[in-house]
Structure 1
């Protein structure tokens, strides 16, 4: 069979001409392979007996009932220490019921090599219920209150419910804090920018915002930010309603938003399936800055999405690459057929391990109250620390014993591509003074797999 070619042909459309022009301008520098050769340079190695950058962890501990103030605590992770698995220092927040979200350091290293050299003195703690943002100083294993940004300062910007924190590895760059509501608690995805010298909220140059807010990830080299969507704070603060599964689009967001960091500008919004993409709770760029690929995970949709950019059209798309079907169980009497709720994903420094929250047993003969929610992975990818609180209003519905008996933190060792629970490690908040408390987040002193946005 042959091919007949006519000398007469129609002129290319405007769209085809644009693509041809982009292709003509395409250069090797613009290529973004799925996995760059330099990717293996992030193959971090550390001897098992040497955990100098992992001797302590800062954990976020909301009071489980809310009758007392939440706290930020320092936990001893050194197996040779007499205070192993215990809290050695803490600071209480200033009011009851703050409900801290995703805390993070005010500074970010520009590369893996620089992480251990960076001096980190301040950790930013956004609070979902009170609307406050705490700037907590840390020096010589002691905490002190540096600054309290009150909720009325956010209300004046018509934002509320601060949730996640990210920093740019650039001198003079502000701290980014995502917010999920307007002053009345309706859904509104926006950001507040905090000056790292004065701790004042900077004025934004772009008034654009998305329908809902949530987690976000920075890619400084490509001047990109991707954010996800939760829902209306005024609704999810009252707990999870079974009826919301029948019409998730009314209560929760299902879009991902691609932003330009500086000058700030919304570039594109990606609409996911209304159920599979419902309540995207975590989004992460790869650590390798030569790759502008990212992954996102939906809590209700129980799906993992691969985000990537078409180098010709410059349009972003999200492909569903994994899905966990619903389970036939009874969760706290809320519903019988439950989606496998995915809360957090953590990627190793070499981006080889992407770990969904899933553990199945507990050391010392203790029952694991609830399910794994927030995780932190060691920089060498060998130790996974897991805590079990997501959001107290939801914790109490699905796992009442988590509220009555407190949260826990466990450690999973990754050996020979297998995950094994460490039976010698357990942090249990059940008998804490003025408790119980739950454990919401975990950060290492010298940075970790989720703290920094590499340049």
Structure 2
């Protein structure tokens, strides 16, 4: 009888995942902000022993233009080992790649040639609209029951946005996830606590409020997302809404604890209307309900208005603009991208209510334009944005573009793309790897990073 075993990149627990082998490739969404050439998945060599270390060694072009590739994910991950819906025969093979602007989904096979993945299926926006009633696809996560994809709008791009499911083997669009959405209208990110049967979702806005850039009247009127929603994951039912308050706008990335026995997580808020600060909040169980607490506030930095883009001139300050966060596999370090000031900050969050800053680097930034030891030219534009951590927590990778139309508002001279890597000290502390600076090909910008075999925001676990 033939023996079989689960995909070796699936781990029952985050503790075991942290012992996984060193990643050697990254898959990076690469998009054309002018929408004249096809977007691509770029493959970057992460093996320091390789002669092509920190170079793009493969590229898979999309069949159309104007997708604006966004937060893609794997078809299968460690959640396939969960006891309630086991699929141990699955393998981490396909990248499920959404276009935020086109609402198109691409299924990309990495197995036969990991450096030259192949598009094996394209799901057109019409099919998604008809079967799920959604558009403006944003984030993909593999879960125990299938592939979850969220969308910022309904079929026309209006509210409500939400989540739909794909069959993990045929990639058929199964339909809308929500049975009872309650008051939820806006969508952005989603994640879950598998051990507590809870889905958490956050908010941005509808297509008309971001596709041509952020709309100042919507922002200043506190009409962008500012709420967290908590759901019964099995019953697909809305349970609770928490409003962070009128001053807090753009409640973005969600990072739950990896340990499935823990019922807390972190969410970043991009900007406060009161003083342009950014903030990090911890959500947690409080009796039978969920609660949130602001645990980090990152202030804006005063700046000469002549150095600021029109959108910030009147404030005389650079907003930190926390656009992404990521949590190490051992739930110890939280990384916070400040796309406005150019800081990447590391916090020790061993106590999730009392974070301590343990490291900080600066690169790019609206005013500082800080350089990198490996960069050929001096001043760099853009700032730390999409961040990803190796499973062992020793390496951190990030890119510098947020969204084509919004890049232009905060960096009006345009952004030349780059990707960098940080090395992490044993007890915290971060430093640039001077040999790792990917000067992105002109005409394209890098966004989401996924690491071969999984990373700290690709998998969820059912065992501690």
**TM superposition score normalised by structure 1:** 0.82
Please give the root-mean-square deviation of Cα atoms over the aligned residues, in Å.
Answer: 2.4
Task: Kindly report which structure 2 residues correspond to 1:239-254, keeping only aligned pairs within 5 A, or say none.
Answer: 239-248=213-222, 250=223, 252-254=224-226
- Contact 1:58/1:73 (CA < 8 Å) preserved in 2? yes
- Contact 2:164/2:177 (CA < 8 Å) preserved in 1? no
Rounded Cα–Cα distance in structure 2 between residues aligned with 1:202 and 1:53: 35
Partner of 2:435: 424
Rounded Cα–Cα distance in structure 2 between residues aligned with 1:145 and 1:238: 29
Q: Please report how far the alpha carbon of residue 245 of structure 1 lies from its aligned counterpart in structure 2 after TM superposition.
A: 3.7
Rounded Cα–Cα distance in structure 1 between residues aligned with 2:177 and 2:63: 32
The structure richer in strand per residue is 2
- Contact 1:131/1:160 (CA < 8 Å) preserved in 2? yes
Task: Kindly report which structure 2 residues correspond to 1:432-447, keeping only aligned pairs within 5 A, or say none.
Answer: 432=441, 435-447=442-454
Rounded Cα–Cα distance in structure 2 between residues aligned with 1:334 and 1:83: 40
Partner of 1:334: 311
Partner of 2:423: 413
**The one of 383, 406, 409 aligned to 1:394:** 406
Unaligned runs of 5+ in 2: 1-12, 273-277, 338-343, 345-360, 364-371
Question: CA offsets per residue over residues 58-77 of structure 1, 9 Å max, x none?
Answer: 11101132210100011101
Q: Please report how far the alpha carbon of residue 45 of structure 1 lies from its aligned counterpart in structure 2 after TM superposition.
A: 5.5
Partner of 1:345: 325
Partner of 1:109: 78
Identify the range of structure 1 (264-273 vs 103-112) with the bigger mean alpha-carbon deviation.
Answer: 103-112
Rounded Cα–Cα distance in structure 1 between residues aligned with 2:28 and 2:15: 30
Q: Which has the larger radius of gyration?
A: 1
Rounded Cα–Cα distance in structure 2 between residues aligned with 1:111 and 1:380: 21
Q: Which contiguous aligned blocks of 4+ residues in structure 1 show a shift greater than 6 angstroms?
A: 111-114
| SS of residue paired to 1:400 | coil
Rounded Cα–Cα distance in structure 2 between residues aligned with 1:346 and 1:206: 26
Partner of 1:453: 460
| SS of residue paired to 2:51 | coil
| SS of residue paired to 1:320 | strand
Rounded Cα–Cα distance in structure 2 between residues aligned with 1:131 and 1:341: 26
Partner of 1:181: 153
**The one of 303, 308, 322 aligned to 2:284:** 308
Task: Kindly report which structure 2 residues correspond to 1:157-176, keeping only aligned pairs within 5 A, or say none.
Answer: 157-168=132-143, 170=144, 173-176=145-148
- Contact 2:75/2:94 (CA < 8 Å) preserved in 1? yes
Rounded Cα–Cα distance in structure 2 between residues aligned with 1:235 and 1:325: 25
- Contact 1:282/1:297 (CA < 8 Å) preserved in 2? yes
Rounded Cα–Cα distance in structure 2 between residues aligned with 1:190 and 1:158: 9
Rounded Cα–Cα distance in structure 2 between residues aligned with 1:112 and 1:74: 28
Unaligned runs of 5+ in 1: 1-38, 47-51
The structure richer in helix per residue is 1
Question: CA offsets per residue over residues 17-70 of structure 1, 9 Å max, x none?
Answer: xxxxxxxxxxxxxxxxxxxxxx99569368xxxxx4311111110113221010
Rounded Cα–Cα distance in structure 2 between residues aligned with 1:371 and 1:281: 17
Identify the range of structure 1 (84-93 vs 385-394) with the bigger mean alpha-carbon deviation.
Answer: 84-93
